């Protein structure tokens, strides 16, 4: 069982370690940034925008998944093995996972915004642009903290939990077949993680009402994020040691227009006992007041611990999966 366990667990562990150590690859070589450059070419007016949008939503994520899958598959087929572990394939898979799952930068930027709301609100209004799309020009320090906490909770699901969930789902989908091996599970997990990151990137760039070409991408993202958003909410509740916060968040989660983003945001609001509000869009009454600086700092810690809960849960599942592979 040792080789299958290392094959499936090591890429996730290495990716998390890299994220904690260096945060993000340099932007000029960041695969997601390069993919975003490609997506940008479709961000324009089209004679038949929805038809183009459907093609973009189908083809580009599959292409991203195919490239990542090919790299790991070739490494698994021809790379060095040590004790039955495809070392080069594991390293390649770790590189993909590191590129598509990010938590440290989210925590760093959120923490920076929270600190600046006390010392320099004007600087906070500039910094928060990295987290939210709303106009921060007239936001009070409390409203800036609310925006930062909302984004941290939502991006925990989008940017970290979703690639983990889809990696696990992809790996799991291969088990039970006649050709099931740890290598096939690894390749499938990488493909699924890369695919969902591409889908989410499309949505973040094109999925606005003002961009008809992004309609299909937005709908696909709604479907792809259904489970990760709810898993992220569960991780937040576990991290807060407050199972009741998830129950209280259930009705609040319907307030945002998105079918998914309300779940982690509402769970964070109820766990912290604060009110999170996007003016003119929604109010998440987890408490009577918007987050104070102390509560917002607690939110940053909560999101970080929730990320750890997600990693632990994924690791436990992959360990069990490795056992199934070893005995099949």
Residue 289 burial (CB count, 10 A): 10
Q: What percent of the chain has pLDDT over 70?
A: 98
Phi and psi (nearest 5°) for 277? -145, 135
Report pLDDT for 180.
Answer: 72
The distance in angstroms from the start CA to the end CA of the chain is 11
Give yes or no for residue 326 having a pLDDT over 80: no
pLDDT band at 177; cut points 50, 70, 90: low
pLDDT band at 59; cut points 50, 70, 90: very high
Give yes or no for residue 158 having a pLDDT over 90: yes
Dist CA 327 CA 44 (whole Å): 52
Residues near 181 by beta carbon (within 8 Å), at least 6 away in sequence: 4, 325
Residue 184 burial (CB count, 10 A): 18
Query: 14-23, pLDDT tens digit by residue?
Result: 999 999 999 8
Report pLDDT for 23.
Answer: 85
Per-position DSSP letters for 148-171, written without gaps between them: HHHHHHHHHIIIIIHHHHHHHHHH
CB 57 within 8 A of CB 220: yes
Report pLDDT for 324.
Answer: 84
Give yes or no for residue 178 having a pLDDT over 70: no
Average pLDDT taken over every residue of the chain: 94
Question: For the chain, give me the number of helices (H) and strands (E)?
Answer: 14, 4
> 3 is written with which tokens?
């080789």
CB 185 within 8 A of CB 171: yes
Residues near 315 by beta carbon (within 8 Å), at least 6 away in sequence: 9, 12, 13
- In this prediction the pTM is 0.95
Report pLDDT for 1.
Answer: 55
Give yes or no for residue 237 having a pLDDT over 70: yes
Give yes or no for residue 267 having a pLDDT over 60: yes
CB 101 within 8 A of CB 15: yes
Give yes or no for residue 29 having a pLDDT over 90: no
DSSP letter at 235?
A: H
The dihedral through the CA atoms of 80, 82, 85, 90 has a sign that is: negative
Report pLDDT for 328.
Answer: 65
Report pLDDT for 270.
Answer: 97
Q: What percent of the chain has pLDDT over 90?
A: 86
Give yes or no for residue 210 having a pLDDT over 70: yes
Query: 279-323, pLDDT tens digit by residue?
Result: 889 999 999 999 999 999 999 999 999 999 999 999 999 999 998
Average pLDDT rounded to a whole number, residues 78-107: 93
| DSSP SS3 for 26 | coil
Residues near 63 by beta carbon (within 8 Å), at least 6 away in sequence: none
Helix axes 293-327, 162-174, angle to 10 degrees: 10
CB 268 within 8 A of CB 303: yes
As beta bridge partners, residue 275 has 285
Pairing relationship of beta strands 81-82 and 85-86 according to DSSP bridges: antiparallel
Largest CA distance in the chain: 61
Residue 271, CA distances (Å) to 236, 242, 253, 277, 295 in order = 8, 6, 13, 15, 11
Report pLDDT for 187.
Answer: 95
Residue 23 burial (CB count, 10 A): 15
Average pLDDT rounded to a whole number, residues 234-245: 96
Average pLDDT rounded to a whole number, residues 104-110: 97
Placement of tokens 């006390």 in the chain: 118
Report pLDDT for 3.
Answer: 87
* Residue-range definition of the domain harbouring residue 297: 2-327
Of the listed ranges 95-104, 176-185, 257-266, the one predicted with least confidence: 176-185
The total number of structural domains in the chain stands at: 1
CB 268 within 8 A of CB 153: yes
Report pLDDT for 25.
Answer: 85
């Amino acid at each position: 069982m040792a080789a299958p366990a290392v094959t499936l667990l090591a890429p996730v562990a290495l990716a998390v370690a890299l994220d904690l150590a260096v945060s993000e690859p340099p932007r000029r070589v960041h695969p997601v940034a390069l993919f975003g450059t490609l997506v940008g070419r479709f961000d324009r007016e089209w004679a038949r925008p929805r038809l183009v949008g459907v093609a973009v939503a189908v083809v580009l994520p599959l292409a991203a998944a195919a490239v990542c899958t090919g790299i790991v598959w070739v490494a698994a087929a021809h790379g060095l093995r040590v004790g039955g572990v495809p070392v080069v394939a594991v390293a390649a898979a770790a590189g993909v996972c590191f590129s598509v799952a990010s938590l440290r930068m989210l925590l760093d930027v959120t923490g920076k915004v929270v600190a600046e709301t006390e010392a320099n609100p004007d600087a906070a209004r500039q910094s928060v642009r990295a987290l939210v799309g709303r106009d921060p020009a007239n936001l009070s320090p409390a409203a800036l903290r609310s925006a930062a906490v909302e984004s941290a909770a939502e991006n925990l699901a989008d940017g970290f939990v979703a690639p983990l969930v889809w990696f696990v789902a992809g790996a799991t989908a291969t088990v039970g077949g006649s050709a099931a091996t740890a290598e096939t599970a690894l390749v499938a997990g990488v493909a699924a993680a890369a695919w969902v990151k591409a889908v989410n990137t499309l949505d973040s760039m094109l999925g606005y009402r003002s961009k008809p070409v992004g309609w299909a991408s937005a709908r696909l993202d709604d479907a792809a994020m259904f489970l990760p958003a709810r898993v992220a909410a569960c991780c937040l509740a576990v991290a807060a040691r407050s199972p009741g916060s998830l129950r209280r968040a259930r009705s609040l989660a319907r307030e945002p227009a998105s079918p998914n983003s309300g779940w982690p945001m509402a769970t964070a609001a109820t766990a912290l006992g604060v009110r999170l509000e996007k003016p003119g869009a929604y109010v998440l009454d987890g408490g009577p007041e918007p987050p104070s600086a102390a509560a917002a700092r607690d939110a940053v810690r909560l999101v970080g611990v929730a990320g750890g809960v997600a990693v632990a849960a994924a690791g436990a599942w992959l360990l069990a999966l490795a056992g199934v592979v070893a005995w099949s």
